[in-house]
Structure 1
Amino acid sequence: MEQLLVPPAEEALKEAVEFERFSRLSPDLHCVFNGHGTLLHINHTCTAVLGFAPQELVGKSYAEFLFLPEVSAITQPWKNRARAGQQQTTTHTFRRKDGRAVTLACTTQWVSDEGVWYAVARVAAPAVALAELPPTPRKSADDGHRYKSLFDHHPDAAFSLDIDGYIKAVNAAGCALLQLQEAQVVQQHFTMFIHEKQLDQCLNMFWSSISGKAAHVETIFISLKELKVDISLTVIPIHQNDQIVGVYALVRNISQAKRAERELQKLSAVASKIKNPILVTDRRGRIEWVNAAFTTDTGYRLDEIKGLKPTQVLTGPDTRMDAYRDMAEKVTKNKGLVREEFLKYNKDGSVAWLHLELTPILDEKGNLNRVVTIATDITDIKKSQQERIRLTDVLLRQNKDLQQFGYIVSHNLRAPVANIMGLVDLLAVHRQEPAFVDKIIDNLKGASHHLDSVIRDLNHILTLRSDLVETKEKINLQELTNDILNSVRQQLEGSKALVELDFVPESYLTSVRSYITSILQNLITNAIKYRSPERQLKLSLRTYYQKKGGLCLEVQDNGLGINLHKEKNNVFKLYKRFHFHTEGKGLGLHLVKTQIEALGGKISVNSTVGEGTTFTVHFKK
């Protein structure tokens, strides 16, 4: 009897349709990438998993849909495995079309002779409901080759059964599961490889699929040698010309995940009773579980943050990311207990200081499996530490002030007192000489006025050093600066000064208005007083925000300048003057520094003789 030959093109087309159905009905993502990571093909499951239609993804790089921290972590290993031709399963977080995160377990295989990656990805969470799929388009022979490659390289055990239950095709993973060669599996009835204890369940799933219903179950596979393996089993009907012609069965070994799940359940049973917040992360640092105390403390539920890294939800502008990276590195490399302090941001924006204890959980081979973090709130302790530091700074400043006042008393007060005593002695000797007595009295008046001036200055400074009692208010720094410039307009016009203002839009302070007014007034009048006679005065005032600080004010002029090499330590001292062509007492800059420090800020100076001076005020945040 003459054998009928099926033309190769028709056979390829038949194969294309068959494997395309396998791909489109699978709950997994089936993808093909070129060597640069550009997507060449993806099945319609992407609509349910990622929210994108296939045409929205084809032609784009996989990196476009990774969360940023993932890109560098995945790109180089892909390239390394491409050279080595290895298959590997990894877990990564991708961005859905709606902006939410979805974590996928991805298995990749580089096929060097085709120059492409074959990848299968599954949601690392409960099964995702698949969206209704569009009608099957006709496929080319090239597409058939591609779908067959997906079948062959699928990381799960894949079996193609005909309508009677005989195995038509099996991939390498299927042979590995059964521990048999392909020739020993193909053309055998699937019941030949099912343990009698599971026979009824598997037959029911097969007949359900033959009737047109896909089925999925997580169960225990018992081999004919009585070996037990946790598996995820998916059975999918094969449609052809509106008829069911067979069944696809996908079997995934989930023993490791189930073992980890059971360990986590045991751990959570204990940890749930602990009052401290507890966070469990997997080996890649992604959140697996939190206890009720964590939710109460942070405001985050497990379903909101599962699969994310703690840095994606618990950090803010003042969190030291380098400290977090050090913690992660220590626990990964040393695999021992790590203790660290960490500034945490809650869901409502509030902050708290935590003492963290990170305990690594290792598998039987000594590899990191997960990390258990126990947190203790130390906010009150940190506040006490900061208060002690503040009091220490105050004591140091007061001690420095006492030394300075001692110097003032011994010099500035001693001079007028000694002058008065000498004049009194002269008065006793020359009391019979009216003209001389009048001269002595005039000198006594001058010495007493000088003494009174020094005492008034000291009293003013001591008043500033005392606790602030004036109410703080919100101050628009630009408006206040304009008011002060208007008050000295005559002096500015007289010196033909050019004034430039460059204030950031939100130049606001919550502070003591009288202090801020005095600081601005002293810095502006100083620039006018010590302008250079050789050029027009240019006065520039600008504000900006520091990265991790408060508002800064910069006052710059092109005046006489100060020799900082000689006078660096004297700029803000009381009664220190550097130019004597105009009246002054050397009190203004000392008052500015005193007031700024009383407000919790600081001031710095940069100056060059003959070029000008810049004062920078760092206000407390």
Structure 2
Amino acid sequence: MNGENTILNSASELLSENTDLYRLLVEGVHEYAIFLISPTGYVQTWNAGAEKIKGYRPEEIIGQHFSKFYPQEALDDSYPEKELEWATRHGRFEDEGWRVKKDGSMFWANVILTAIYSSNSKELIGFSKITRDLTDRKLLEDKLSKAMEELKESEESARLLTEGVKDYAIFMLTPEGNIATWNRGAEHIKGYTADEIIGQHFSVFYTDEARERRFPEYELKMAIEQGRFEDEGWRLRKDGTQIWVNVVITPVYNAEAKHLGFTKVTRDLSERRKNEELMHKNRELHKINTDLDNFVYTVSHDLKAPIANLEGLIAMLKMDLGADASKHAEVLGRIDNSVVRLNNIILDLTDISRVQNEESPVEKVNLEELLQEVTGSLEDLIASYHAVIQPDFSGFRYMSYSRKNLRSILFNLLSNAIKYSSPERQPIIQIKTEKLHEQGQYLLTVADNGLGIHIKHTYKIFSMFKRMHTHVEGTGLGLYLVKRILENSEDRVEVESEVGKGSTFKLYFHQNEES
């Protein structure tokens, strides 16, 4: 106990100078509880913020062990002692969990415990403890703790108290907005060392556009008028990169109500903003896909009846023409071809709608058998083009996938490869499987020696109704369907192509034959 008294005496000496300055530094912050505890865990200081969060007045809690704030389950596990042990060993401990107020009610807290050493960094003199009330589930980044302790501590004590806090930039500004203090968190977030930044105006962190409209000055004005100012926006680091931050500025006054400056706390929310933007983008994409699916469904069903009527009218016309029908054979043939093409478009649209809305069972598919089935369906097309199919399933012969969807993929890729063949040479289509062990993926490639696609058009070919060679028969839906099937199973397709030499479609699957 004598050893701890000696340590506490050392801490008291550190806290004995310039106490008014430190009190002013922390007095305006009311949403964070930051207090000191002894090396063995006894509360040494207390402030209005701590009283607000915990419910204890200073005279009720100072001298009590900090385990008083923990639920019985944590006490049974000696959790408070484990926190001190971890902070002593590693210098810092952070945690979220349930804590207990004076009235027995529970609140969810974020806690940062930092070991504090004497100036020679050899003797542990205690711990700083920062607590944030997160019960209302607001993000830590949205709120700045106003609960700093009413410590009687010098400017050096303030440095020790905040030095271990790396997640927040905490510093003071003069009434004019010049930077007066700097902590490690500020250096970590902003990129400036204390020597580089102290004395400069805080507008150095703002974009040109913000400075032109005098937004930094507006922040200070609003902080004076409203007692505090909070904002989220873009700020600049030393290297010129932009970060999205939450900022809270609080004016600081002395006992005579004289304005001495501001406290400013900044939190980097760049990662959170990136996630929010990604979520928004995904929601927009989902809406687009849903609208497109509704359109496809409506079109495919609403066209069936008119086309059926058209087929009946054409049949009646041929009967009425009788022997004269041969005179109009070319025109009638074109009409028949158009009707066939419309029917094919409806079938493809129906397939697209089915792929998006139907749950297809996954099964173990034999690729060789499936290819025989597909080439059988394409027998007439293969024969008319004298196409050659060269399979190589040595990489893997089975896949765990929807058989119906995998058949649709192969059917569309093979029929496209044949239709877009070069008139100068016999179509040769190579199908190959390969295990990509490093990426943990399974690759199936379909390569042809056809017309090829210019690189500037490759991104278009998976769009609906896009055909790069208009003289080739087709609906322009086959590759779109392939891409949608793969996206639904969280797989992907890529294409490599060269005009006059052919194209290679690469399909990357995360399923495997053992699944």
Give the alignment's TM-score, normalised by structure 2. Answer: 0.40
Determine which structure has greater relative contact order: mean sequence separation of CA pairs < 8 Å that are 6+ residues apart, divided by chain length. 2
Give the alignment's TM-score, normalised by structure 1. Answer: 0.35
Structure of larger gyration radius: 1
